[in-house]
Structure 1
């Protein structure tokens, strides 16, 4: 697949101050792309036109999505009726697109001096044609991500239980609280759960609803449960 963009009035484009121009989306290898052109400023001594191939909708791709593509950028030579093609990589290796790298290109694809040289044939009648060729696209892969947080800012939750002596054997849930985007609850058995009825207070950290998670999602938590000593501050703590 190759995609071209014809630019008329190139001199006006270079004087316009436009930072970049993005083409319409086009499909290649089952994926949507766009060609992005950075015209540069005409009054710069070392001004260049830059060309990039970008994933059309980067926010929609997921962690683990990968595509390997060979890319050639080109400009049309009107005099010789042919394209000058420059690969995005000179070692024959394709470029890998993924969630953290959604664009590849050439910052200094062509200098303004070369573009404006009449003998080159790239600029005729203030018009030029740029393009990109995308081929040999590898299939996307699958994967997953693991994120770790050492000390969450919202990691402390305090639950005050009133009229404790009247709760009996019933279990009690706290309000839902959120830590690092995960919703939790505390589960309290005032007189112990089925494993130690009438002997211990039982306290658990629980997910609000594990069914809300996508299939295969796992959460590991380093936690500390604490019953406050309201007089001497000799708290009862359990780390898990």
Structure 2
């Protein structure tokens, strides 16, 4: 159990935030899908479903207008905060523009891979808190070690980890740490803080962490030369060539399996559509589903999560009364990750010839990518 923390003496202003790192523990769940309105996205592999799973921890104490500290054993989630510095984090800076686009999302953003101390790492950011790590009403941030396959059996990497949140009002970085060595190994590849900073503080524009809808985070692992570049995530609305049309012939002859469109490129990533003509999940045999799948990145693109917001349509071939659903989610770096809906249209409505969704035994799906993210590594 991770026990409480303590308040420190006076310091250089600010608040005490942060947390001790809880480790990962990803596990599959059952199939889940994104849906209309409040039904969030589903996540998972190629086929009918999607899924994702957890991580683990809990609070220490924050200091007053100086410093605070948290301590304990096991997977806690709160560390010492309230300390500030002018210098940028030395290993990784992640800047997200148009932060309001993803405010409230539950799935994490996973950064591109970066190197520090001779190892490869990735930042994992939960903008609405990691609920499985006690991160309710907080920003959660972790550092995960990557590309460990080449390390010797029984490997262990011990690091001193510092995470950062930039405050534009003070023009300084808030440092979050707990002073405890983080032991990375096969059983524990991720450390960080479920309670990096309270959402009420972070989202309050008077506090200075979110200025002009831009948020910036950072990490230091061991010590290193000052970083000269930052990872910048930008959201592109209605990018060029953002509409893809998929016409399917001989619909009545299709089998009970998933069919996939050709890949299409929007900004830095390839995408494809997929569906099962006999239905999936709770729409099985009652409705037609449609899913958007993220594929690989184009050459030389920065391979990170990609935000994909899309209008998915079954076209009405006799009028503009199309069946349409909106879906938005972070798509991870792996390919064949699908998000969509089981029920874009009921079979009863689809089979009504007067509606115009099926003409000459053909149907037309359309994907309009209304907002995607593009990640670049740029000079500071």
TM-score where L is the length of structure 1 = 0.50
Question: Are positions 1:25 and 2:108 aligned together?
Answer: no
Q: Give deviations 1:63-87, integer Å, cap 9, x for gaps.
A: 3111110011111110111100011
Q: Tell me how far 1:11 sits from its aligned partner.
A: 1.4
The correspondence for 1:86, drawn from 176, 192, 204, is: 176
Q: Tell me how far 1:58 sits from its aligned partner.
A: 4.5
Q: Tell me how far 1:59 sits from its aligned partner.
A: 5.1
Q: Which residue of 1 aligns with 2:282?
A: none
Q: Which residue of 2 aligns with 1:100?
A: 187
State the superposition RMSD in angstroms: 2.1
Question: Are positions 1:11 and 2:115 aligned together?
Answer: no
Q: Which residue of 2 aligns with 1:150?
A: none
Question: Residue 58 of structure 1 contacts residue 102 of structure 1 at CA under 8 Å; is this kept in 2?
Answer: no
Question: Are positions 1:66 and 2:132 aligned together?
Answer: no
User: 2:180 and 2:149 mapped to 1: Cα distance?
Assistant: 26
Q: Tell me how far 1:100 sits from its aligned partner.
A: 0.7
1:94-173 equivalent positions in 2, closer than 5 A: 94-135=181-222
Q: Which residue of 1 aligns with 2:91?
A: 2
Question: Are positions 1:54 and 2:174 aligned together?
Answer: no
Q: Give deviations 1:159-208, integer Å, cap 9, x for gaps.
A: xxxxxxxxxxxxxxxxxxxxxxxxxxxxxxxxxxxxxxxxxxxxxxxxxx
SS of 2:200's equivalent in the other structure is helix
User: 2:166 and 2:141 mapped to 1: Cα distance?
Assistant: 14
How many residues align structurally? 130
User: 2:150 and 2:190 mapped to 1: Cα distance?
Assistant: 14
Change over 3 Å in CA distance of 1:124–1:96 after alignment to 2: same
Q: Give deviations 1:43-70, integer Å, cap 9, x for gaps.
A: xx95211000001234554531111100
1:162-201 equivalent positions in 2, closer than 5 A: none
Question: Residue 91 of structure 2 contacts residue 115 of structure 2 at CA under 8 Å; is this kept in 1?
Answer: no
User: 1:123 and 1:29 mapped to 2: Cα distance?
Assistant: 30
User: RCO higher in 1 or 2 (8 Å CA, sep ≥ 6)?
Assistant: 2
Change over 3 Å in CA distance of 1:102–1:78 after alignment to 2: same
Question: Residue 47 of structure 1 contacts residue 111 of structure 1 at CA under 8 Å; is this kept in 2?
Answer: yes
SS of 1:101's equivalent in the other structure is coil
Q: Tell me how far 1:93 sits from its aligned partner.
A: 2.7
